[in-house]
Amino acid sequence: MSEPPLVEGEVAAELAQEWPGLRLASMTFPFAPGPSPPELKQRLRLLSDRFRGPQAIALRQQPIPQAYRIFFRHIGLEPDERRIPVEALALERMKHGGFRSRNALDDAITIAVMETNVPVWALDAAAVEGGLRLRAAEPGESVPRGRLVVACAARPLAVLFDDPGPDAGVTERTREMVLFSVAVPGVPPIHVEEALWTVWDMVAPG
């Protein structure tokens, strides 16, 4: 299938002013969940073989992980307790001796995050009304006070850096998916685009 367009989401003005370079990007395309094909499982095994203890230790010294760690602290998250996405995956690899295969989408996201250090999440397109927007939680929303959210025109879909809510994430009924990523100040745009294209390339219908 042809490549879907990369869409820039709106960042609330007060957030853009406070954190220049904060960016929300997404792409939408047909997708039906399923198990990982053999070639994707093999790619995950190769990634496990390449990523070992020394790489995990050096990870936080690299520029992109550092940028996410700094941003976590700015928004009240302690990155040594609440791990940034790439460090959380690295910890899982160390804990289990390898990256565990779950399904095609999760495996593709794991590979993309580990190769680019940029987080990626997935939404069921049917749950998204209008474009995506990064903003602060509003009074009356069932979101922790002070947290930022990724929202559509109707409601929040995910607390920033958390997995999407059960009514917004990909399920076995999903037939179209919205992939999105958030770049923090200091993360070059090309890395966000690479992360999204990497997932798309692995899971897009042939």
Q: Give the pLDDT mean for 159-183.
A: 95
For the 7-199 domain, the top CATH level (class) is: alpha beta
Strands (E), 119-183: 121-124, 133-136, 148-151, 156-159, 176-183
Amino acid at residue number 21: G
| pLDDT at residue 1, rounded to an integer | 67
The 3-state DSSP class for residue 6 equals coil
User: What is the per-residue pLDDT across 189-201, written as a single tens digit (0 to 9) for each?
Assistant: 999 999 999 999 9
Would you state the structure tokens that stand for residue 16, as one six-digit string?
């853009």
Q: Are 181 and 195 in contact (CB under 8 A)?
A: yes
Whole-angstrom Cα distance, residue 93 to residue 169?
A: 24
Residue whose tokens read 């100040």: 185
More confident residue, 197 or 140: 197
The pTM assigned to this predicted structure is 0.94
More confident residue, 168 or 49: 168
Amino acid at residue number 31: F
Q: Give the pLDDT mean for 138-146.
A: 85
Q: Give the pLDDT mean for 112-117.
A: 96
User: What is the per-residue pLDDT across 9-57, written as a single tens digit (0 to 9) for each?
Assistant: 999 999 999 999 999 999 999 999 999 999 999 999 999 888 776 777 7
Task: Give, in order, the Cα–Cα distances in Å from 114 to each of 48, 181, 198.
Answer: 10, 14, 11
**Exposed / middle / buried, residue 183 (Cβ in 10 Å: 0-12, 13-18, 19+):** buried
Q: Where are the domains of the chain?
A: 7-199
pLDDT of residue 206 exceeding 80: no
